Chains A and B, each alone.
Chain A
Amino acid sequence: MVMEDPEAPHHMLLLRNFMAQGLVHNQPLLYASPNRDPRGFLGTLPSPAASKDDKSRQRDPDQEKGLRIAWQYKKYFGENQLNFDGQRDGKHEYSNEFDLRKPLERHFLSGQRVECVSFQDCPNLSALQDHCATFLSQFPRNDGNISCVGRIAIQSICAPQCEYSNMEWDMLSFIRSLKSMVRSSNAVAIVTFPPSLLSPSFCKRWQHMSDTLLSVKAIPDEDKELAQLLTGYQDMVGFLNVHKVARINTQVPLILEATTFSIKLQKRRFLVLECLNQAPVDGSSGASYGTSGSCSGSSKTGNLDF
């Protein structure tokens, strides 16, 4: 689940990436959105940057930037995908870099099973749930065949455009049944929602319901203070926060070394997640977490910071 920033469309960047990645791998996709014409969104999906990407797999992961980012995507994009990565044959490249300026080629969209649903066409949530159920029935879990993985992307589920945005309990049970359906099939679902539209207690319920919880936040334009604190501020469009990492089949929580990443658009083309090195806000406030050891209060998005 991704918590949206109510004032910025950053969650769409993640959604685009998630969807495009699936389509490149020939994975069926179900996309549900509050827009009247969800299919139109498919036209904005980025196309993989074809050049030089192929060789990155053989290189040392620490050296190759592309792969480092790949690693991060792999880690945070969807709970089930993680499990399947290792088992899939090496031919499929995961975590392609996508060129945001080029639209995804037609043949990716047309040739396969892409289903689009607009919330406005669904009179109630059970209709949407039925959509998901029929979609997921293509990927039963127990047949041992994991070559086919489905992806579900649901955008802004509690947006006010849909009639049921005020049926909080119904939405909760929808999420719950979606979760149980995803668990019993080879699929991964990403749901974005604007937390500010939910009451605090329901927002917490949603968060508890998620396996992996992310939030995105835009950074204000021309914030001089931030610009001083962070290198590469020019390219940054926002922050990604990892609140919770899926804990399936284990009780041990995964504590990440960094939970905040900057979302950068490099050359206006590539979406890049970079680890943010958080130095203490105030040098005098005591313990320093910064590995660089500088107490000046500057934090760097160094290339080697893991």
Chain B
Amino acid sequence: MEQRYSNLLDEALGLDQTIEPWPLRGRIVAIEDQVETSGSFVLHHLLKRALSPNSSNVSIFIAFSQSFSHYDRVLRKLGCNLVTQRDNKRFFFLNMLKLQCPGGDGGITPEGGLIALYGKIHETISVLPEISRKNVTIIIDDLSLMEVAANGSSDYVLNFLHYCRTLTSEFDCSLVTLNHEDIYASADRPTFLLQMEYLADILIKAEPLATGLATDVHGQLTVMNKGINYGQDSSRNKISNFHFKVKENIVECFYPGSRG
């Protein structure tokens, strides 16, 4: 039963069939959430899948929002030991909590800071052995804090993302990002968000229920999978919509009304 719940999300992401080769290879996944409903659990879920024992995936985690111990404890409850994975060189944690690029005199410019970060990622990937270089997942938590770190220079953040995108074609990496949709809700032209949505191959939105908070349904997920085959079906996006409940060890996904 439990298995089936989590499969809705996996199904929508195309993770249910095979794990090797990594189905998200070369793709960009954008997760968007709101104050009321955090979407970080999707990030954790993807990380767990990427690090699962029967895949050879390597993850590079760029953390602007939480410390390593937080992710470690969360993932441990999900059944994945980040410390071991780190020792096995399958998990690389870049702690960006204290990254500040205020610019101005003497300080690091936003551009410089992000270029350095990109350099770090590129270096991490290029020293990997040939076999794992083909299966790298770059995870960014989260983009809005990256904008803050860049002191509001969203253009540089976008540039950074475009660079990361080249990695997805160069090395067949996958890129997973988290951002907050409601920040941009009041803007006339939410360029940053639109750009990201345009770049994304898979767009995941976590929203609260219209009826408010509830203990047995934490919110709803909309997954838009833009499809990889560029044949005749290319115009057809696969959209899935379901409710979810986050637990410590699993995320339960189910169709609205399908649970008593």
A residues sitting closer than 8 Å to B (CB atoms) are 168-170, 172-173, 176-177, 180, 183-184, 199-201, 204-205, 207-209, 213, 243-244, 247-253, 255-256, 259
Contact = CB atoms under 8 A, between A and B. Distances in A.
B148 A176 contact: yes
Given A204-B180, A247-B38, A250-B77, A180 B186 contact: no
Contact of B73 (A168, A209, A249, A259): A249
B98 interface: yes
B221 to A, nearest CB: 14
Contacts, number: 83
A169 B97 contact: no
Interface in B188-237: 213-215, 218
A208 B180 contact: yes
Interface residues of B, number: 37
A290 to B, nearest CB: 15
Contact of B35 (A170, A184, A244, A252): A244
A205 B36 CA distance: 13
B95 to A, nearest CB: 9
Contacts of B77: 250-251
A252 B40 CA distance: 10
27 contacts: A169-B148, A169-B151, A170-B151, A173-B100, A173-B148, A176-B148, A180-B98, A184-B67, A199-B186, A204-B180, A205-B148, A207-B35, A208-B35, A208-B144, A208-B183, A209-B145, A243-B36, A244-B36, A249-B70, A250-B248, A251-B40, A251-B41, A251-B44, A252-B248, A253-B218, A253-B246, A255-B213
B178 to A, nearest CB: 11
Q: Which of A248, A252, A255, A259 has the most CB of B within 10 A?
A: A252
Given A204-B183, A205-B148, 6 more contacts: A172-B152, A173-B149, A183-B97, A204-B182, A247-B38, A253-B246
A205 B152 CA distance: 12
A207 B183 CA distance: 9
A255 B214 contact: yes
A177 B100 contact: yes
Contacts of B70: 248-249
A23 B120 CA distance: 45
B112 to A, nearest CB: 16
B102 interface: yes
B240 to A, nearest CB: 21
Interface string B148-161: 11011000000000
Interface string B53-97: 000000000000001011001100100000000000000000001
